[in-house]
Amino acid sequence: MNSRFSPTPASAATRNKAPGVSRLAALQMVSAPRVEDNLAAAGRLMEMAAAQGADLVALPEYFGIMGLKDTDKVDVREAYGDGPIQAFLSAAARQHGLWIVGGSVPLVSADPRRVRNSCLVYDNTGAQVARYDKIHLFGFQMGDEQYHEARTIEPGRQPVTVESPFGRLGLSICYDLRFPELYRAMKEVDIILVPSAFTETTGRAHWETLLRARAIENLAYVLAPAQGGRHENGRETHGDSMIIDPWGTVLDRLPRGPGVVIADIDLSVMQGLRRNLPALSHRTLT
């Protein structure tokens, strides 16, 4: 179900949730250069997701800032565990009783000219329970369009998973999606997180194909919140946030613009598929 800006009352949403089922939400944004504006927009979308009975909410990459210049995110970087973006995520998780995946937050790195592009996970008490630093850094040039993330981002080194009430989460960010070995290194996760800011050029060509492939080959759910629209810096992001089941079926999606993508997941369905098609146990190369 595609909700956009028509939240269902929380009581009705909760009644409609079957026992043993969790409700995931992906927030799609068109972030601006101003952190305070983006946090306000994210807060409104979280309220919508909570009103629809979401248990876990994920925000896109760069949800806190899409700067006019690449270096703008360096200017607002935060020390790990301290800063307005992290405080916002913790408070929102606690206020709504949600698990929140903060798509990416610019954190201090060893290089003062760069940041760590970090995905932070908060439980429903507001405690920060996991951090993943983006490993693969986007580099692309086609005509006048070019991106060089390595100039402003220091890469991470380690895959990260976290246990949650909704299953084992595997964390990744955007360009990581093109590297299936990252997800294999996670050793079987239940939900793959892919907060992203895919460009319109690459997203139009590859986004859905790559997301569905990661779901199918890992027999896992995929939760992919994205930036989706024309930003003040002139960049156009592809959007098409979606939730995909382990068979590769798209459960919900939002092509463009701000909104909420929401769907129920059932790990018993995933486990049944893994019994019927035990491809993960058939692997011979590691």
For the annotated catalytic residues, the residue numbers are 61, 134, 174
d(CA 216, CA 64): 31
7: alpha, beta or left, given left = phi > 0 and alpha = psi -120 to 50?
beta
Query: What DSSP element (H or E) covers 212?
Result: helix 208-218
Q: What is the CB neighbour count within 10 angstroms for residue 124? A: 16
DSSP 154: -
Which tokens go with 106? 């610019």
How many Cα atoms occupy the beta-carbon half-sphere of 163 within 13 Å? Answer: 0
d(CA 272, CA 19): 17
Is residue 156 a contact partner of residue 133, using CB atoms and an 8 Å limit?
Answer: yes
d(CA 106, CA 67): 12
Is residue 99 a contact partner of residue 121, using CB atoms and an 8 Å limit?
Answer: yes
Q: Name residue, tokens 């206020």.
A: 95
DSSP 174: G
